[in-house]
Every structure is written in structure tokens, then in C-alpha cells.
Structure 1
């Protein structure tokens, strides 16, 4: 047998097995696990979500706004209602999840909930208020408008699911600081494996260390630990078990087929690396009280947007759009 024929068999046989599995119940198993996820479609056109063009968009008007089609950005929202209640809640956690097939990475960007931004159709306010004003759709519009993003889909998860998810992967390894011990029952100082209840308490800590800044780090750390365990093990039964746990606590704009497609892409792409960051960037924000309300004002928004695009797309020198520059100037001049 020729070397070329051997290579073809190595490629085609696994592909055939995947097709066989898909046609004989594999899709059904996933679909059954996803059955409890609440799908809420939102508009997917550029005008409604204010998305910026990608590299395949023939109508792109500015090279500065082009986005790689090999990088998919999805909004992640965490709410802490302790119930199946998504309406009227403020987003307790706001992240951008970037699936980067070019550099084989998953990237998580936290946006501080007190960040002072322009909320379309409303006013300048905390970004987490946009979720209460208009749900995930308005929050996506707000992210796209303020950060020159091209997000079209979202996943909202109730924090009540975190405890069960962490237990399902056998706990998460966390380096607990001395000022965190009292708020995590049964924990001690240093690196240790936290169970679900402890990890949830850890993620909720707000008034310790560097306040809400450090809280976003804790949330990303727990999430990154869970994802790393799944990626390393690559266990189909574990993945299905996690989906079954998450589904009753999840609302998304993605249908079952799209969710399965994303999961398949992650598992088949060879992605093993994860990176995370936070906006506003350290040293590029001013926190304070205006009219009796605490806000975190980017200083400047334009610099933060340039940093975000460098992080996600790994192409330095991003120039923010005129719309972002206008918002940035307004924020600076608002007292």
C-alpha cells in the first residue's frame, strides 16, 4: 500500500466513523441532553445588533473594522437569581468568549459590570444595567457599539448551575488567599481542590481583596479550570453529563444544531490553550461616585478597545471606529 493511500485511510476512516455515529444516534444523544435549554432567537442582521463587518463582508467600509472569520465571538452572561428567571435581571457577569481557530485558543474577556458605557436607546450607564433594560439583545448591541465587536449570539447561565458543574468535573484547583478563607466554608490557605459549593462561594466574593476587579478574576479562574478539565479529558460521556446539568439553567440564541456544531469544532480543532483578560484594563479606568452612584469609567475607551482587539485577534495597531471615539470623548467629558 502506498504512503498516500495510507494517509487517506487514516483521514477517511475516522471521518466515516463520525458520520456513522451521527446517523445512528450520536446526534440524538446530544439533542436529548440539550432538550431543556431555552432557545430565544434574536435578530441576526447587522443593523439590529450593530455588528462590525468581518473580512468576508463585501460592504466593509474600513480596514480597521475587519474581523477574522476564523474567530467566533459569543457573549456570555451570568445571572444570580437562584431561579429560572431571566427577565429584568441585571447581568452579574459579562464576558466575551472567543473561539480562535487560527491560534488554537479559547479566550475569555470579562467586562466589569460597573463599566460606564453608552446604552443604545437608553443613556450612559453601567453596562450590566443594559441587561435589565433590554435583555441579552440590548447588551449585545451595547458591547458591539462600545467595543467595535461583531457578536451575534449569546449564552446566559444562572449561577445556580455552577455548583453542580464543578462537582461533575471533580472539583477545581484554586489558590485560596488568606482574605478569602472566611468566605469559603471548609477551605484553607493555599492551593486546594474546591468542591461545587466552595467554588460558588469563591466566585461570589466581592468585598475582599481588590473588590469587583478580583471577583471577575475568580469567575474566569473557575470557568477556565472547568473548561481545561473537559478539553484535557475529551470525554464524550462527561461532555454529555455537563450539558445535561447546564441545560435547565441556560438560555441562548443558538439552536441545538449550532451548539453541537460549536462543541464539535472545539473538540476537533485541537484547541487546548486558554487565555483571559479583563476590561477596563488595569490603569486605564477611573472609579468614583457621580450623582451618588459608583461607576467605572474607561480612561480612555478607545485605548481599551484597541487592547481588546489586539488580545482577541492578535493583530496590533487596531484603530477604533469614529463611533467609539465619540463615545470615548463623551465618557471623558461626563462628570
Structure 2
């Protein structure tokens, strides 16, 4: 069977799947940004009340796989740059779930930028206690603790904090914001309506089909469908690019959202967030994020093209990569703004 025939058959089978696919990557960072952006609009007192709804957990900071300060000292004011791991997980049946998508949110006050780093979930990495496996399996094996440690050890980072958002927040927030404008190409158009039908059946919604390619105004279910498209020619690379495109559209829409809408957004979102960040830390980070204009949101993906390749091991697909080159590239991007 050809690749195109296989892709077509997969698309036809979408509506037959009875289980929910709950994870979406870009909603994670969107959720965290909403929390931070709300600070200016609604004030500390209300914000503190909302944080009672957060699922707050503690991490063992001594077991996060962070290299010594000597490894980072060459990057100057690296301690002023804040990195936060952002996870979207499939928590079906109450389990921990795999992190279907992983991003690093970097608040960089030195260069006045908010950076988004997407990590390829199929990256072939060493997971402590489990050997070589896919990056997204680390969360299922050991929750955020092991997932962060795996990221730090395999991508050369110093992440100490995280936020995880579950499946149900994305359509809610997008619909509260009045939808998004996105460009949908001809190849994506072949698949998106199958996902829309599947989600309508699972969620009891009635989102419309997308009839034409080009710029479209889409609602929450349509955005979720767009994010789940897997079978375009670019595979997971294009899927993470779609995540980043929606993220940019969300960030722009949030920047233009009246402050009166923030309480409604937050009340819908906060119950779906798990994090180790304290209320005080989030409020402090919020003041920094609010100082970064929407034009200063920059994005990248690692491993980068040219330093990785798909490989099949024991019948399973992995993305192998040059770890030393990738660590240098990640650090240069995050700490040196290259």
C-alpha cells in the first residue's frame, strides 16, 4: 500500500475511533500565557483566589538532571532567563498519560523576548531507568519529574518548573475569544473535516466543515481538529508547526482581548492546569511576560532539520538526532538568542 493510500485510509477511520484523543500541544503554552496576562487586567486579589483551583505539585529539584553551573556560565546572565516546561498529556482512564506535545516557554528579559521551543515527541532519548525510548514516554513513566529530567539531560537545559494542561481547555478558550483566523492549505483541507466529525461525535458539538483552503475563521473544535492532523506529507514536523501557528494566533488574539473577558477565561482554564509554580512566582513572571510585546514572540523546533532523521527500531519509528549539536543549538537559541 502506498503512503498516500495509507494516509487516506487512516483519515477514513478517524470517525470509527471511540476513544477520545485528548492531548494537544499548543494549548499548554496558551493556558500558561493566559494566566500570566491576566495579572494586569484583573489584579492580584482575584488572581490569588483563582489559584486555589490549581492542581499544585512539588518536584524534587535535586533530581532534575540539570548540569553544573559551569556548563551554563559561558552564557552570561543565564540565571535571568526563565525556562518552563509545558506538557499536553493524554490522561485517558485517569492515568498519567504520555506527553503528546512538549514545549519550553522561555521568558528572556535580557533580549525582551518570549521564546517557544517545541521538542519533537518521537525524539530518541535516554530515559533514566527505561533506556532509549521516545521523549513523550518519559511523562508516562514518571510524570513531570522524569519528563523534565529527560529534557534537561537530552537537550542540555536547566528547567525547574512546568505546567500541564489537559484536553478540555482549548475549544473553551478559543470560543470565549471568538475564534481564530488561520490559513488552511489544500493538503490540510483533505483531513480536517474527518477530525471535525470525530470531535463533534465525541463532544456533542456541531462545528461546521471547512469548505475551502485559504484564510478561515475557525472555532474551538475546528482549531482542535486542525491541531490533530497527522497525515500530511510533512508528518509530525508539520504538526508541530501547526501548533506554533495556532499559538501565535492565540497570543495575538489574547493581546487584543478586553480585560473584562479575563475572569471568564481564567475560570474555565485554571481547573485544567497542573504546575509546581507558586502563586507568587506566577505573579512575578506575569509582570515580565506582560512587558514582552506580541511581536517579540519567537519560535523554534528541536531537533532541527538536518541534524535528525527518522529511523525504525524493532518496528517502531523514532527520530534520532545528533545530541551534542542539538544541545549547542538549543542553548544558543535560548541563552544567546541565536
TM-score, normalised to structure 2, is: 0.77
Aligned residue in 2 for 1:111: 119
Q: 1:61 to 1:33 in 2, by over 3 A?
A: closer
Contact 2:252 2:294 in 1 (8 A): no
Shift of 1:197: 0.7
CA RMSD of aligned residues (A): 2.2
Shift of 1:136: 0.6
Aligned residue in 2 for 1:90: 98
For 1:81-160, list aligned pairs within 5 A. 81=91, 85=94, 87-160=95-168
Structure 1: give runs of 5+ residues left out of the alignment.
Answer: 1-21, 55-59, 317-335
Aligned residue in 1 for 2:183: 175
Partner of residue 234 from structure 2, selected from 210, 232, 255: 210
Q: C-alpha offsets along residues 276-330 of structure 1, whole Å, 9 cap, x if unaligned?
A: 11111012111021111111001x11111111112112356xxxxxxxxxxxxxx
Number of matched pairs: 282
Contact 2:156 2:330 in 1 (8 A): no
Q: Does 1:161 align with 2:161?
A: no
Q: 1:69 to 1:239 in 2, by over 3 A?
A: farther
Aligned residue in 2 for 1:77: 87
Q: Does 1:260 align with 2:275?
A: no
Structure 2: give runs of 5+ residues left out of the alignment.
Answer: 1-38, 194-208
Shift of 1:66: 6.0
The 3-state SS of whatever aligns with 1:179 is helix
Greater mean alpha carbon deviation, residues 287-296 or residues 263-272? 263-272
- CA distance in 2: counterparts of 1:131 and 1:61, whole angstroms: 26
Q: Kindly indicate which of the two structures has a greater share of residues assigned to helix.
A: 2
Q: Does 1:52 align with 2:62?
A: no
Contact 1:109 1:278 in 2 (8 A): yes
Contact 2:72 2:78 in 1 (8 A): no
Q: 1:288 to 1:199 in 2, by over 3 A?
A: same
Greater mean alpha carbon deviation, residues 170-179 or residues 262-271? 262-271
- CA distance in 1: counterparts of 2:76 and 2:152, whole angstroms: 13
TM-score, normalised to structure 1, is: 0.78
